[in-house]
Structure 1
C-alpha cells in the first residue's frame, strides 16, 4: 500500500513537472515571439525614423539651396539698384549755360564735345570751339572714333573751324580761331572776323589733362604736369570774359569771412598746426546752378531767341566773369598736382616750376615769369564731383607714351572724378 502511494506520488510529481516545463516552454516561446515582434516593430520604427531624418535633411538642403538662390537674386537685384542709383542717384552739376562761349582744350576723340551739344546739355554749336593738341592725322590715327565725331560736329555746325587741331593750351593766343583776331585784313574778311571784337570765353574747359611724356620718376612726372597746368592757366587768363561774378561764386566769397574765423579757431585748437591744401583751397564748393536756364537744359522762347542771335553773331560772350574748369581723377598722382594751390599761388609758384620741372616738348612756347605775374592768381569758385556718365557717349580716351589707346574711366581703381572751377583774382 505504501509503495503504491509512493508510486502515485512520484507519478504526480513527474506530471506536474512536465506540465510546469511545458508551461515554461510555452511562456518562453511567447516571450521570444513578443521580442521578435518588438524587434520587428522597433526596426520598422527605426527605419521610419531614419527615413524621416533623411527626408528632413533633404528638405534642409533644398531650403538652403533656395535661400542661396534667393540671396544671389537679392545681390543681383541690389547690384541693379546700385547701377540705377549710380545713373540717377546724384544731381548733375551743369558746367555750361546756353549763353556761354565754350572753349574745349585737349580733346581726345571729341566725344565730350559731341555730348555737350546733345540734350540735356545743349551747348550752342555757334558758341563752341573744340581743340586738340594733336595734328588732325595723328588724332585720327590715335583714336578710333575721332574722325566720326569730328565729322558730326562739323556737319552740325555747318563749318570746319568748330574743331581745330595743333592747339597748345599753353599758347592759346597763337590761334586766331581762339582769339578772333586774324593777322591780315584779307584773312579777317575771309574768316568773318569783326575787327571791333576780340573773342573772349566765359568757360574754358580742360578735361583730365596729362602731359603723357612717360617720365618714370614720379616726382618728375608730377612737376611736368604742374608745369603744363601752370602754362595753361597763364595762357587762358587774358581770354576770359569780364563782368560780374556768378551768384554761386559770390556765395563762396560771402562765406569766406565765416570760414576764415572757423579755421582760425581750428588752428588755435591744434596749436597753430598748418592746414592741408585740401582744407585751405576748398572755398566756394558749390553745386549751385545758374539762374539762366531751367534744370532740364531748356529755356523756352528765351533759348530760341539766344540761338538765333548766336547764329547771326557767333562767339559773343555773356557779360559776366569767365572761368576755367579742369576735371581730374580724385586719386594719386593727380591729387599730388595740387591744382588749387597752383591756381591760388600761380605767380609765386611758376618761377619755381620753371627751374625744377622737366623741359616741355620741343617747340612749345615758354611762358615767362612776367607773363605769369600779369596773369595773376585764381580763386576756386567751386569744386564738385564729376560724373562721366552724365555725358552721353562720352569716353575719355588717352594714349600712353607708346601711343596705346585706353579708357581712363575703366581703370581698376574706379576712383571718383572732381571738377574745379577757377576764376581770376587779379594780377599779383
Structure 2
C-alpha cells in the first residue's frame, strides 16, 4: 500500500470515528424522545416545552405553539418570555397565534409531519360554568378540531397524537375517545399523568385575571391515539 492510499484509509477511519462521536445519544422523558419530531400545542407559558428541552439537552426537535400573541405571553405569564427565550436558545421553534382547530393551514406547520403531537389540558377558557352544557360543547368542539388537524400533520407510520386530560365529571362528557374514533383515530394507550414527571412544568389556568395561577389536576391521564390503520383496535 502506497503512502497516499494509507493516508486516505486512515483519514476515512478518522472521519467515521468523528461522525460516531458527533452522534447525540437518544434521550427519553417518559413517552417522549429526543429523536421524535414533536409539535406541542396550546403551550401556555411554555414550561412543558422547556422541561422536555432540558431533559433532551436540546430543543432542536421541538416546535411549540400557542394561540396567544407574543405580547399576551408577556402579560399573562411571569415566566413566559423567559421560557420562550430558553427554548429558542436551545434550538426550538416557537409560533404564536396558532389555533389548534386550524393549525393544518399554518404557513409552516402545513409543510411538516411529526412523530408526536401533544396537547396538555385543552380548554377554551371559562366562558360558562365548567359543568354546563354550553361549556362542555365548546370544549368538545376544541377537541374535535385539534384531533382532526393533528391527524393531517402526523407521520402516518409511527406517529401518535396525545391529549392529557382530567378524569371524572364533567370531563368524561367531552367524549374524547368517541371524537377520536369518528375522525379515524384509534386509542392506543392511556397512562396516568403526573406533573412531577416533568420538572419545571407549571400547568396554568391561561384565562382570566388568574391566567398565571395553577389549577388542580386531580386524576389526569395522557391519551395516546394513532391512525386506525396502525391502531391495536384495527
User: Does residue 1:380 correspond to 2:187, yes or no?
Assistant: yes
Task: Return the TM-score normalized by structure 2.
Answer: 0.80
The answer to whether the 8 Å contact 2:53/2:90 transfers is no
User: Does residue 1:175 correspond to 2:127, yes or no?
Assistant: no
| TM-aligned CA distance change 1:150 to 1:93, over 3 Å | closer
Structure 2 runs not aligned, ≥5 long: 1-27, 230-234
Task: Return the TM-score normalized by structure 1.
Answer: 0.45
Q: For residues 213 and 104 of structure 1, what CA distance do their matches in structure 2 show?
A: 22
The answer to whether the 8 Å contact 2:166/2:221 transfers is yes
The answer to whether the 8 Å contact 2:30/2:197 transfers is no
User: Deviation of residue 162 (structure 1)?
Assistant: 0.8
Q: For residues 331 and 123 of structure 1, what CA distance do their matches in structure 2 show?
A: 36
- Counterpart among 320, 334, 339 of residue 176 in structure 2: 339
State the aligned residue count: 201
The answer to whether the 8 Å contact 1:96/1:123 transfers is no
User: Does residue 1:210 correspond to 2:123, yes or no?
Assistant: yes
Other-structure match for 1:420:
223
Q: For residues 399 and 93 of structure 1, what CA distance do their matches in structure 2 show?
A: 25
- Counterpart among 36, 59, 64 of residue 125 in structure 1: 59
User: Deviation of residue 332 (structure 1)?
Assistant: 2.3
User: Does residue 1:148 correspond to 2:62, yes or no?
Assistant: no
- Counterpart among 129, 146, 162 of residue 93 in structure 2: 162
Which of the two has higher C-alpha Rg?
1
Q: For residues 123 and 385 of structure 1, what CA distance do their matches in structure 2 show?
A: 25
Comparing 128-137 and 214-223, the one that deviates more = 214-223
Greater share of helix residues, 1 or 2?
A: 1
Q: For residues 126 and 232 of structure 1, what CA distance do their matches in structure 2 show?
A: 24
User: Does residue 1:99 correspond to 2:18, yes or no?
Assistant: no
Q: For residues 190 and 49 of structure 2, what CA distance do their matches in structure 1 show?
A: 21
User: Deviation of residue 213 (structure 1)?
Assistant: 4.5
The answer to whether the 8 Å contact 2:128/2:135 transfers is yes
Other-structure match for 1:390:
197
Alignment RMSD (CA, Å) = 2.0
1:102-140: CA deviations, max 9, x gaps? 000000111100000123xx1752221000110010111
Other-structure match for 2:133:
219
Greater share of strand residues, 1 or 2?
A: 2
The answer to whether the 8 Å contact 1:97/1:123 transfers is no
The answer to whether the 8 Å contact 2:41/2:100 transfers is yes
The answer to whether the 8 Å contact 1:381/1:421 transfers is yes
Other-structure match for 2:213:
406
| TM-aligned CA distance change 1:404 to 1:394, over 3 Å | closer
